[in-house]
């Protein structure tokens, strides 16, 4: 019974933290607008940048990364030691970000929250993916391309980081990374359609 309560506690708190809609709050705070009705309609850092500018987008991105990190690095430990609770927190915090209870189960596309969660689980792999994200963004000027490219490379980056840096990341985290990449691609369905049609907007 105790383990069930711990699972429920970690899942519930991680979901609620993930559900905090930082971009929505920023839109209301700065201009009194709902970002779901402006730009791409997505509650994420990229759309915050398009509508509100860089000074608003940076804290939104940092907050989204931070909530993923906090859920995995700190909240999961309240459940107990081991990888299981960390994996649970990582999955649920991303679900909370994508389907927030505070904004009628809408949300972002999970990139920032995923980066924060895996920053706690596999920091070297995330660093490698961040470099790829920067390179892809500079090459294409399209955030969705950079985000999907880095998400796709995350599962492969974990064993590579293990070998290069001597990191000891459990194989189950690689499995979760595959699931996280799938979620990112699913949430980018509309972007993929626009990329095929040549109508995806460049960020700068």
What tens digit of pLDDT does each residue of 152-192 get? 999 999 999 988 888 788 889 999 999 999 999 999 999 99
Share of the chain above pLDDT 90, in %: 86
Q: Which residue has the tokens 């909240």?
A: 75
What average pLDDT is seen over the chain?
94
Using alpha carbons, select from 79, 110, 104 the residue that is nearest to residue 4.
79
**pTM over cut 0.75:** yes
pLDDT at 15 over 90: yes
Q: Can you give the residue ranges of every domain in the chain?
A: 2-197
Q: What is the rounded distance in angstroms from the CA atom of residue 133 to the CA atom of residue 143?
A: 9
């Amino acid at each position: 019974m105790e383990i069930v309560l711990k699972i429920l506690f970690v899942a519930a708190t991680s979901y609620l933290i993930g559900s905090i809609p930082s971009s929505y709050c920023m839109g209301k705070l700065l201009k009194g607008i709902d970002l779901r009705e402006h730009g791409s309609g997505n509650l994420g850092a990229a759309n915050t940048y398009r509508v509100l500018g860089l000074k608003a987008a940076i804290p939104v991105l940092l907050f989204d990364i931070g909530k993923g990190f906090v859920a995995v690095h700190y909240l999961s430990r309240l459940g107990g030691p081991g990888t299981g609770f960390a994996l649970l927190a990582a999955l649920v915090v991303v679900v909370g970000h994508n389907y927030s209870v505070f904004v009628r189960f809408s949300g972002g596309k999970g990139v920032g929250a995923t980066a924060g969660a895996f920053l706690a689980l596999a920091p070297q792999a995330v660093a490698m993916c961040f470099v790829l994200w920067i390179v892809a963004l500079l090459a294409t000027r399209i955030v969705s391309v950079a985000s999907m490219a880095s998400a796709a490379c995350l599962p492969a980056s974990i064993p590579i980081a293990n070998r290069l840096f001597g990191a000891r990341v459990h194989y189950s985290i690689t499995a979760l990374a595959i699931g996280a990449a799938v979620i990112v691609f699913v949430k980018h369905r509309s972007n993929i359609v626009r990329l095929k049609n040549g109508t995806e907007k460049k960020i700068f």
